[in-house]
Structure 1
Amino acid sequence: MKYIVKWWRLMDITELIDKYKKEQQLIESMINLTNIHQNSLLISKLDVYEEIIKDLEKIKRQ
């Protein structure tokens, strides 16, 4: 049972990582299409997503 719970947790984390990576790609594609103020907001959001992905990958390795 312990292994099943860990497997599901790993799947959830993997799905979250994929979700944030897709969001990053979307934001990156939007950066050139918006004004300077919006670009800075989008870049800030990218930085936050990068940190979230790093944290999730650390959890996944545990």
Structure 2
Amino acid sequence: MPWSKGDYPPSMKNLDSRVRNKAIEIANALLEDGYEEGRAIAIATAKAEEWDENHPKDKE
């Protein structure tokens, strides 16, 4: 089941919205590639947090 900004897994509820939106994007791509939901959520959350660290909001 694909997720959206308004309908996402409960485990993503405490993520910053920027990280959560990226995690949703990644998780949906993983689902399309055949990953099961639980695995897609875990991978997407980790990768979204990694992405956030490497792409700061304010580039100075």
Q: What TM-score results when the alignment is normalised by the length of structure 1?
A: 0.38
Higher-helix-fraction structure: 1
> Which of 1 and 2 has greater Rg?
1
The structure with higher relative contact order (CA 8 Å, sep 6+) is 1
